[in-house]
Amino acid sequence: MNIESLKINKESWEKSAKRFYGRNPLPEYGPMAPREEQMNLFGKVANLKVLDIGCGSGHSLLYMGERGAGELWGIDLSENQINAAKTLLKKQGFLVRLFQSPMETNPGLPLNYFDVVYSIFAIGWTTDLDQTLENVHSYLKPGGIFVFSWEHPLHSRVKHEEGSFIFNKSYQEEGPYDHEFWDTQAIMQQFKVSTYINKLINAGFKIEEVIEEVYSEEEDLQRHVNRWYSFEKAQLIPTTLIIKCSKLQFDEELEK
């Protein structure tokens, strides 16, 4: 866990929380990505215990609550995001347990407890992916599912210049980077698709689905003009990586 990067990112999010209020929550997984109603990755969540990693303003938890989830839990690095989530969910009448904490540490969450853990466009903010996945695995019941989305690793490797798309960085290059399009300094993590998959397997997960498809509607033509996620670029490079996996059952662990 990189304490300095966490400090930088917390300060950045405290300043940016209002700008990202309600931005791309479930049923969205990311810009120009398929939505939950198309993929049904969670299935029925009625009465299930769910945990949101990087819960932001709480809108994804609201989505789960409206679909009858039994318990709503969330964790986020930003105090402003946690306060926004508390206000939103209380206003809608939902009981929620929220923790202001980095995802790399367990702030007091129960172990082997949750049916569903998910993270919508937040996992790339971790400073320690191995520890974060180990934590998620420990929170889930055997057989529980983990779904996350993040910017596709190819997306930041390709740049649009003078009408052409060129590779400006190697896909093989992994590790922390200072995002050039963020308003304030922000340290994110770059990993290959294979790295995510292998680290999930090593943490004790079974991969269920990997989604890289691009889905766009007419409104996306205007919504993403001249932005980091452009419609033109999405025709060549996926914007979003979505992975669904499950915590291995005890007997499956013994067979490994």
Q: What is the pLDDT of residues 210-219, one digit of tens each?
A: 999 998 766 6
* pLDDT above 90: residue 163: no
Domain that residue 101 falls in: 3-12+43-113+131-214+224-237
Per cent of the chain over pLDDT 90 is 73
Structure-block tokens of residue 2: 């990189």
- 245 forms beta bridges with 146, 207
Q: Judge whether 63 lies within some domain.
A: yes
Determine, yes or no, domain membership for 120: no
Question: Mean of the per-residue pLDDT values for the chain?
Answer: 91
Residue length of the chain? 256
> What is residue 107's DSSP assignment?
S
Q: Which amino acid is at 41?
A: L
**Distance (Å, rounded) from C-alpha 159 to C-alpha 150?**
18
| Location of structure tokens 């590790």 | 175
Q: What is the pTM (predicted TM-score) of this model?
A: 0.93
Structure tokens at 125: 């903010």
Q: CA 159 to CA 223: how far, in whole Å?
A: 19
Whole-angstrom Cα distance, residue 227 to residue 132? 30
Residue 104 maps to a domain: yes
Number of domains in the chain: 1
Is 17 a domain residue?
Answer: no
Q: Exposed (0-12), middle (13-18) or buried (19+): which is 66, by Cβ within 10 Å? A: exposed
Task: Spell out the residues 6+ positions from residue 203 whose beta carbon is closer than 8 angstroms to its own.
Answer: 130, 133, 134, 136, 137
Per residue in 4-25, pLDDT (tens digit) is 999 999 999 999 898 889 888 9
> What pLDDT does 36 receive?
97
For residue 115, CA distances in Å to 12, 14, 47 come to 32, 30, 10
Is residue 175 in some structural domain? Answer: yes
- Residue 146: closest CA among 203, 195, 101, 107: 203
What pLDDT shows up at residue 159? 85
256 within a domain of the structure (yes/no): no
226: Cα separation from own chain's centroid: 24
Residue 47 within any structural domain of the chain? yes
Peptide bond into 27 cis (omega under 30): yes
Give per-residue pLDDT as tens, 172-182: 999 998 877 77
| 253 located within any domain | no
CA-to-CA dists, residue 183 to 97, 123, 177, angstroms:
30, 19, 15
**How far is it, in rounded angstroms, from Cα 129 to Cα 220?**
31
**Is residue 221 very low, low, confident or very high in pLDDT (cuts 50, 70, 90)?**
low
- Helix or strand run (H / E) with residue 52: strand 49-53
Q: Which two tokens stand for residue 78?
A: 């930003």
Specify the pLDDT at position 121. Answer: 96
- Residue 229: give its domain's CATH number: 3.40.50.150
> Which position has the token pair 């974060």?
132
